[in-house]
């Protein structure tokens, strides 16, 4: 596959108090771009479910650069498949405002059996679409999770219907929303996220009881998302304090 490119306007619902796009807009636009790429190649969720398969992502890593644009301006998202193994595919991406690179990252996707939730071969699905031999980061090795335990606070919640996607489990973006919702307001006003690494370990479903625990050590932030005391997702961030 050559690089696949889409443009997305900054919508009013995705801007912060300064009218600039929120950082999670990058994740939403990347997810939308990947879904469109799949649809154009007849491997969208509604295509693969005919073979009892579903798409899942195991991790996403994003590095942010310049400030994001204002409401109504556009972001250009460029994605490509950089590596394929039997059971996983790696997609890298870059996001631009005009010609300025504002973010870049990589991700790892699987196809699961919709019934057993076991991985199924993905190589024959993705490889015919072509590879681009370049990577945003040096390698696709799984990143080490932050392991410090300097707890700031925790928050309990229940999965609601709006948290779900078309696979019937919690949408990837909901985990990020939960993380931000657990952070004290004064912290959100003082810090800007420069890097985020999201690790999805298990699925969550409607009415599940969830606990989000927020930890901080220097400029490192960690969010553990738990179900029945078991880790289902960890989000690690590196942030800088606003001047």
Q: For the chain (length 243 residues), average pLDDT per consecutive 10?
A: 91 90 95 96 96 96 92 96 94 96 96 97 92 82 87 96 94 95 83 94 97 95 97 96 74
Q: What is the DSSP letter of 162?
A: G
What pLDDT sits at residue 140?
A: 77
> Looking at residue 156, what is its pLDDT?
97
pTM of the prediction? 0.94
The tens digit of pLDDT for each residue in 190-199 reads 888 999 999 9
Q: Give the pLDDT score at 64.
A: 96
CA contacts within 13 A on the Cβ side of 146: 24
pLDDT of residue 1: 58
Output the pLDDT for position 243.
63
What pLDDT does 239 receive?
Answer: 92
Distance (Å, whole) CA 51 – CA 238: 40
Q: Report the candidate in 135, 130, 91 with the shortest Cα–Cα distance to residue 109.
A: 91
The pLDDT score that the predictor gives to residue 92 is 95
Structural tokens at position 26? 């990058």
Domain architecture of the chain: domains with CATH: 4-129 (3.10.129.10), 151-241 (3.10.129.10)
Whole-number pLDDT of residue 144: 86
Residue 207's region, left for phi above 0, alpha for psi from -120 to 50, else beta, is left
pLDDT of residue 52: 97
Give the residue from 59, 113, 65 showing the smallest Cα distance to 91: 59
């Amino acid at each position: 596959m050559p690089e696949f490119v889409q443009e997305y306007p900054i919508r009013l619902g995705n801007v912060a108090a300064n009218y600039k796009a929120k950082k999670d807009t990058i994740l939403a636009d990347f997810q939308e771009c990947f879904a469109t790429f799949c649809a154009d190649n007849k491997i969208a969720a509604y295509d693969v479910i005919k073979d009892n398969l579903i798409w899942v992502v195991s991790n996403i890593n994003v590095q942010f650069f310049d400030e994001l644009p204002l409401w109504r301006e556009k972001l250009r998202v460029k994605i490509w498949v950089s590596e394929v193994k039997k059971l996983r595919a790696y997609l890298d991406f870059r996001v631009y405002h005009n010609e300025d690179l504002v973010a870049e990252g990589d991700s790892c996707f699987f196809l699961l059996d919709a019934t057993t939730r076991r991985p199924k071969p993905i190589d024959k699905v993705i490889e015919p679409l072509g590879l681009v031999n370049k990577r945003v980061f040096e390698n696709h090795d799984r990143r080490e999770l932050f392991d410090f335990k300097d707890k700031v606070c925790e928050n309990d919640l229940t999965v609601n219907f709006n948290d779900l996607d078309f696979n019937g489990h919690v949408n990837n973006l909901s985990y990020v929303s939960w993380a931000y919702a657990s952070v004290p307001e004064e912290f959100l006003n003082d810090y800007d996220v420069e890097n985020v690494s999201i690790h999805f370990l298990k699925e969550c479903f409607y009415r599940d009881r969830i606990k989000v625990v927020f930890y901080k050590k220097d400029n490192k932030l960690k969010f553990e998302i738990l179900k029945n005391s078991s880790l289902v997702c960890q989000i690690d961030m590196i942030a800088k304090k606003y001047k």
